[in-house]
Amino acid sequence: MTVDTRDRLLEAALVMIREQGITGLTLDNVAKAARMSKGGLLHHFRSKDALVEALLRQLMDDFEARASQFYQQESERPGRWLRAYVRATFEDEPLPLELSLSLMASVTENAVLMALVRQDFEHWQERLLNDGVPRPRATIIRQAADAYWSERLIGVAPDEPEARLAIRDELLALTEAGHA
Amino acid sequence: MTVDTRDRLLEAALVMIREQGITGLTLDNVAKAARMSKGGLLHHFRSKDALVEALLRQLMDDFEARASQFYQQESERPGRWLRAYVRATFEDEPLPLELSLSLMASVTENAVLMALVRQDFEHWQERLLNDGVPRPRATIIRQAADAYWSERLIGVAPDEPEARLAIRDELLALTEAGHA
Amino acid sequence: MTVDTRDRLLEAALVMIREQGITGLTLDNVAKAARMSKGGLLHHFRSKDALVEALLRQLMDDFEARASQFYQQESERPGRWLRAYVRATFEDEPLPLELSLSLMASVTENAVLMALVRQDFEHWQERLLNDGVPRPRATIIRQAADAYWSERLIGVAPDEPEARLAIRDELLALTEAGHA
Amino acid sequence: MTVDTRDRLLEAALVMIREQGITGLTLDNVAKAARMSKGGLLHHFRSKDALVEALLRQLMDDFEARASQFYQQESERPGRWLRAYVRATFEDEPLPLELSLSLMASVTENAVLMALVRQDFEHWQERLLNDGVPRPRATIIRQAADAYWSERLIGVAPDEPEARLAIRDELLALTEAGHA
DNA sequence: ACTCCCGGGACAACCCGTTAGT
DNA sequence: ACTAACGGGTTGTCCCGGGAGT
């Protein structure tokens, strides 16, 4: 049972970004990494942007799935989605969204892709702002969570397990604490 | 009083990023925007990376200066630097750090530039973590602040004045509030 | 019967060198001379050095073939390879090794290409030094032969048929004459 | 007593070629090596070709001087100049003509420089062909001598002292031996 | 005599996507 | 479904030389 070719290509694209950064994400490279010709790649994705779009969608869907799972396990008190969001973000697991930052930057210049990102952003924003927690507080929590892996990606912040857990727990606490 | 040519070039580079994104930051474009030949540009900055490095340095220095100013005006209670950092970030005026995200992504692939960024990061991190506020809390505050303008840059979050102020004030409050 | 594209490109490269010297050997020129786009050229030769390498290999192989042919026709007395070498060099027809000097100079700066040349050199050197002729004498003969077309290439020495034949015959004689 | 600036520049040019090959011979590099600005360099040599010309002249004059010295010490029998030429070439000393090959290649494309080289060539050719030795033999001797250092320059032939002396002596012998 | 600044042009390498063909 | 060939365009880097100024 062969793996779906499309998935193989997406996987290859991920690898390229991980290993060579956004600059390494060229059709030629991806094709080569998937042991296929560029023509073959373009047969599955009409253009580079189409490839990136598929990549983005996959990452978003993954995160959505992961967060939803945590949501189920979370108590019904206010801040339920926020906590799910925080937990999903701080999971150390596979972390398939490994790249977002670099991807983002490349997304910026394509209106269609930007719309996609913005839409996902708003989708979450709406959920998190109507979660029973004062909006500024909710925003801050989301932002801190987002920044957390942004920084991890750039490799700017050392990733110490204890520190990470402390931050995560502080964020979780902030979803419940009385508001200053 | 002629403006220094180097500064004119730096300024032009900023403009290019602002208007066309990172992709627009080409030597040709910058030179043209500064009404100079590419040869002239390369006389001042030996390579594109040299240009970007100068850009980064300038942005960092600007922010440093701005934050320091707020630091002076801030009370001596714990969290003094954090509050200065938050205020400097949420200022709407100058906003010279316009771009970071896109710049970051391009920086990622050059070790020297990365070192520069990491160094600046650690410089601030040390200051903010030893500011009399519990470290996880301090980190969260910095992260939320950073994310704030990141998002503004991507243009993903609408920038409503009242919302912004609310968030800023919440962050300032968090520098003082009892710790959960 | 379409000529192989690769060969057409190689041929075009030769022409450029012949007509404009090493400086004329630019990707643009070669592509243009072969009536092809630079993109197309780079599809066949990944880099300029790759093109030069192919060129060198072809010239070496040509010479090898030509010399081998003379070798077959040569008597078995000592100096058989030397005589073949001399004859192959002084042939006026094909002269495909047209350029060596200029090529050499450009080769000098690339380690890989240098290795290629050196290898070919040693290959011949071994053959010619173990050909039944005292080694210093053998070396001199090879050197004179090499210099012959080097000079012709630079265009420094007028190419008079009688003179050429006289030199060739003297060299052939030196492969047999009693040794001083 | 400061060394003449012109000479310092010429020396620097030599160094550049020796260390970085012909490609390294740029006005910028030479100027930097001589701790001077490019403008300064161009003040002494109107153009790059002018610099190369001066270089060539110096090398030729050096060789001329060296050969003449040997000529004085040589017996008056036929082949006197040839022997001087051979001795001058095989001297292991300073060898300031260290480069000729690469220089030649760069010279090829400038008619004026070519004329200079050709003139020097003919000057020697005349001397050597009217030296009491049969012309083909004389030519061969010169060619072998020329090739000797050509090969040393390209670094293609290992430079073993005994082998070198053997070749030199064989060449000297050829200037006197009965003709095959 | 020498420096700084700059223009103008070239060149190698890369990259995306189309097309003919299998 | 997939490959090979190719075109057209862009970008970073380099390099030579001229001109203003000291």
Contact criterion met (CB < 8 Å) for A105 and B105: yes
Task: Report residue D105's pLDDT band, with 50, 70 and 90 as the boundaries.
Answer: low
Under the banding of pLDDT at 50, 70 and 90, the label for residue A130 is very high
Mean pLDDT of chain C: 86
Q: Which two tokens stand for residue C88?
A: 């192959």
pLDDT of res. A99:
53
- Report how far residue D179's alpha carbon sits from residue C174's, in angstroms, rounded to the nearest whole number: 9
Asked whether at least 3 C-beta pairs link B and A within 8 Å, the reply is: yes
The pLDDT assigned to D97 comes to 46
Rounded CA-CA distance C2/B18 in Å is 52
* Residues B16-37 pLDDT 10s: 988 888 889 999 999 999 999 9
Long-range contacts, B41-46 (Cβ 8 Å, 24+): B41/B9, B44/B5, B44/B6, B44/B9, B45/B9
Indicate the pTM of the whole model. Answer: 0.89
Which residue, among A157, A165, A151, A175, has the nearest Cα to A77 in the 3D structure? A175
The pLDDT assigned to D161 comes to 83
Q: Give the Cα-Cα-Cα angle D154, D158, D159 (nearest 5 degrees).
A: 100
What share of chain D has pLDDT > 70, as a percent?
Answer: 87
Residues 11-70 of C with CB under 7 A from strand E: 23, 25-29, 38-39, 42, 46-49
- The larger pLDDT score, comparing residue D135 to residue C108, is at D135
Mutate to test the interface with C, among D170, D176, D179 (most CBs of C within 10 A): D170
pLDDT at B98: 45
Contact (CB, 8 A) for A117 and B154: yes
Q: Tell me: the pLDDT tens digits for C4-21?
A: 999 999 999 999 988 888
**pLDDT given for residue C102 in this prediction:** 63
A23-57 residue pLDDT tens: 899 999 999 999 999 999 999 999 999 999 999 99
Would you state the pLDDT for residue C20? 87
Quickly state the pLDDT bin for D68 (edges 50, 70, 90).
very high
Report the residue from B108, B118, B156 with minimal CB separation from A118: B156
Mean pLDDT of C108-115: 87
Report pLDDT for C22: 84
Give the number of residues written for chain D: 180
Burial grade of B20 (CB within 10 A; 0-12, 13-18, 19 or more): middle
The structure tokens listed for A167 are 């931050």
Local confidence band at D90 (pLDDT 50, 70, 90 cut-offs): confident
Quote the pLDDT of residue C153.
Answer: 65
pLDDT at A94 over 60: no
> Does residue C135 have a pLDDT over 70?
yes
Low-confidence ranges of chain B (pLDDT < 70): 1-2, 92-102, 105, 153-158, 178-180
CB B95 within 8 A of CB B155: no
Residues of B in contact with A148 (CB under 8 A): 143
Query: For C74-85, what is each residue's pLDDT tens digit?
Result: 999 999 999 999
Residue nearest to nucleotide F11 (CA to C1'): B26
**Spacing of D7 CA from F20 C1' in Å:** 28
Res. D69: pLDDT tops 50: yes
Q: Is the pLDDT of residue A84 over 80?
A: yes
Residue whose C-alpha is closest to residue B54's, from B116, B101, B102, B3: B116
